[in-house]
Amino acid sequence: MARIAYVNGRYGPISAARVSVEDRGFQFADGVYEVLKLIRGRLVDADRHLARLRRSLGELRIEPPCSDAALQRVVKETITRNGLGNALIYIQVSRGTAPRNHPFPAAAKPTLVVTLRRLNLPGATELEKGTKIITLLDERWGRCDIKSTGLLPNVLAKQAAQEAGCREAWLYDAAASDDPVITEGSSTNAWIVDENGVLRTHPTGSAILGGVTRSVVLELAVAAGVKVEQRAFTLGELRRAREAFLTSATSLVLPVTTIDGHPVANGMPGETTRRLMADYAAHCGI
Ligand code: PMP
């Protein structure tokens, strides 16, 4: 079945889907996006994703292209037309099309694109043995809480991770510091169980994207009786951690067992990580 995309009110084959070269998403990365997953025909945490989209749009003063209810209808129709039960759904909204000029155009209509692709969850070996990451300087802008399509530093970090044979790069915030703080991954949130047994992740704010998976896992941790704090950890604390894992809608809860070539603790996923992996999988209906 040909993949079907939605672009500004029209459904059609993705190979024929087009936006203008004067679209501000293309010219300036003047846009935002969301990524949701569909598991066995059910959208996971759709309300949280749509709330974050609305917030990102609001922070950039981009007019929402339609109501949340209308957007849900477009997403559902795109799912139906693609005939997938398990999928990743990309919603992209730019400020619209206008002759190239930096200030906001007076009368541009936002561009809305919805596309789907097959969902590739982490495989059994990676879930059982954990994954490898590198650490890198965080070179992003000061508003990482906005899910902007301006992802060049994230792209460069992910490419560096891939070239090092790793899944992800975790970013630290200050090259000059002896013991810099880890903010998050290039497309994931970062977690450790520290040397005192406390589960920690960076607090929300402008330094990280508030992951939807992160917010769910925080609730699952509390429900499981895990001692959890939204408190940043440093590179040194990461190296001494008992456990580490990353989260995102596409990676789920994934153990991190090698950091910059060194094993985390004994090099195997820890107990808290395993518990949260299972609880999050159940939450998603996997
Ligand atoms: N941080 C960044 C920079 C991301 O791009 C993502 C993926 N959207 C996340 C964290 C995880 O967010 P979520 O759990 O909503 O997928």
Give distance in angstroms: CA of 101 to centre of ligand 1.
30
- Give me the pLDDT at residue 1, please: 66
- Give me the pLDDT at residue 215, please: 98
The ligand 1 site (C-beta within 6 Å) comprises 35, 184, 187-189, 209, 211-214, 247-249
128-131 — which CB contacts under 8 Å span 24+ positions? 128/269, 129/255, 129/257, 129/268, 129/269, 130/254, 130/255, 130/256, 130/257, 130/258, 130/264, 130/267, 130/268, 130/269, 131/166, 131/167, 131/168, 131/246, 131/254, 131/255, 131/256, 131/257, 131/258
Tokens of 254: 């994934």
Strands 168-172 and 131-137: parallel
Give distance in angstroms: CA of 48 to centre of ligand 1.
13
Residues 121-150 pLDDT 10s = 999 999 999 999 999 999 999 999 999 999
Residues 102-118 pLDDT 10s = 999 998 899 999 999 99
* Dihedral angle computed from the Cα positions of residues 137, 142, 20 and 99, in that order, rounded to the nearest 10 degrees: -130
Residues 47-61 pLDDT 10s = 999 999 999 999 999
C-alpha dihedral sign at 145, 149, 150, 156: positive
- Give me the pLDDT at residue 66, please: 97
Q: What is the residue whose two structure tokens read 């795109």?
A: 78
Residues 19-72 pLDDT 10s = 999 999 999 999 999 999 999 999 999 999 999 999 999 999 999 999 999 999
The answer on pLDDT for 2 being more than 90 is no
Atom 3, ligand 1: residue with shortest CA distance = 187
Taken in order of first residue, the domains within the chain and their CATH numbers are 4-118 (3.30.470.10), 124-284 (3.20.10.10)
- Cα(179)–Cα(250) distance, integer angstroms: 30
**Closest atom, ligand 1, to C-alpha of 214:** 14
158 annotated active-site: no
Q: What percent of the chain has pLDDT over 90?
A: 97
Give distance in angstroms: CA of 209 to centre of ligand 1.
6
In whole numbers, what is the pLDDT of the chain averaged over residues?
97
Residues 203-222 pLDDT 10s = 999 999 999 999 999 999 99
Give distance in angstroms: CA of 34 to centre of ligand 1.
9
**Closest atom, ligand 1, to C-alpha of 186:** 3
